[in-house]
Structure 1
Amino acid sequence: MYKLRGHHLFCLLGYRGMGYSEEYVKNMTKLHQTLRNNPHTYIQIVNEPDHLCEKYPNSGKYHCQDAHIYERDAAILKKLGLQIGEILQWRNIEAAVRNRTVPADIQVVCETCSWRSYGVCEEGIQEMHDGKRLREIN
């Protein structure tokens, strides 16, 4: 079981193999591909630094504890209808994305995210709506 915070649920949809450091990318790719290949993997929703934050580079300010990150987590969980502490399979998170979001939601709930300008998270939500799974990362 993996522990994930709210905004990382959307980050995983848009993940394309880029990240903050080589160690971060390696960790995120491993998790991403685990979820892609085994959507029955259990996820616990947390309100704290999670499995992905563990590999955030120690290069100054630790953004995983910033207030605006917690606000983004809460907004995404509300949008998906999920609760802190909930344990569910990744496939159920994908279903929540399909049933409760649209690609344009990224422009609002992820307004201050530096990755938003790439457009990949919107693509990820659209791909969920199109019945696709997470992309394969090479």
Structure 2
Amino acid sequence: MYKLRGHHLFCLLGYRGMGYSREYVENMTQLHQTLRENPDTWIQLVEGPDDLCDKYPNSGEYHCHSKNIYEKDIAILAKMELKIGQIVKWKYIESCIRKHTIPTDIKIICETCSWRSFGYCEEGVQEIHEGKGLREVK
């Protein structure tokens, strides 16, 4: 089982093998690949730092404790009608994405995210709507 915070549910949709450090990318790629290959993987929704934050590089400000990040977590969980503490399968999260989100939600909820300009997360939401699941990371 993986522990994930709210905004990482959207980050995983747009993940394309880029990140903050080699260690962070290796960790996120492994988690992403597991969910892609096995959507029955259990996820516990947590408040604050999660299994991806564990590998965030220790250089400068640790944004995992930023008020803005916590606000994104809350907004995304609320949008998908999920709650902190829930334990669900990744495929259930995908069903919540299909039911409660549209690609343009990224522009609103993730407005301040430095990764948003790539457009990958919007593409990821659209691909979930199309039943494709998570994109293969090459």
TM norm. shorter chain > 0.5: yes
1:106 aligns with 2:135: no
Match of 1:65 in 2: 65
Corresponding letter in the other structure for 1:34? T
CA RMSD of aligned residues (A): 0.4
What secondary structure does 2:88 align onto? strand
Q: Deviations over 1:37-80 (max 9, x none)?
A: 00000000000100000000001110000000000000000001
Residue 12 of structure 1 deviates from its aligned partner by 0.1
Match of 1:13 in 2: 13
Match of 1:56 in 2: 56
Give me the TM-score of the superposition, normalised by structure 2: 0.99
Corresponding letter in the other structure for 1:126? Q
In structure 2, distance between residues paired with 1:67 and 1:19 = 21
Match of 1:33 in 2: 33
In structure 2, distance between residues paired with 1:62 and 1:81 = 28
In structure 2, distance between residues paired with 1:59 and 1:83 = 31
Q: How many residues align?
A: 138
Residue 123 of structure 1 deviates from its aligned partner by 0.1
Runs of 4+ in structure 1 off by over 4 angstroms are none
Corresponding letter in the other structure for 2:90? W
What percentage of aligned pairs have identical amino acids? Answer: 67
What secondary structure does 1:44 align onto? strand
In structure 2, distance between residues paired with 1:29 and 1:137 = 7
Structure 2 unpaired stretches of 5+: none
Residue 136 of structure 1 deviates from its aligned partner by 1.0
In structure 2, distance between residues paired with 1:133 and 1:48 = 25
Match of 1:92 in 2: 92
What secondary structure does 2:9 align onto? helix
What secondary structure does 1:88 align onto? strand
In structure 2, distance between residues paired with 1:111 and 1:60 = 22
What secondary structure does 1:123 align onto? helix
In structure 2, distance between residues paired with 1:90 and 1:44 = 10
Structure 1 unpaired stretches of 5+: none
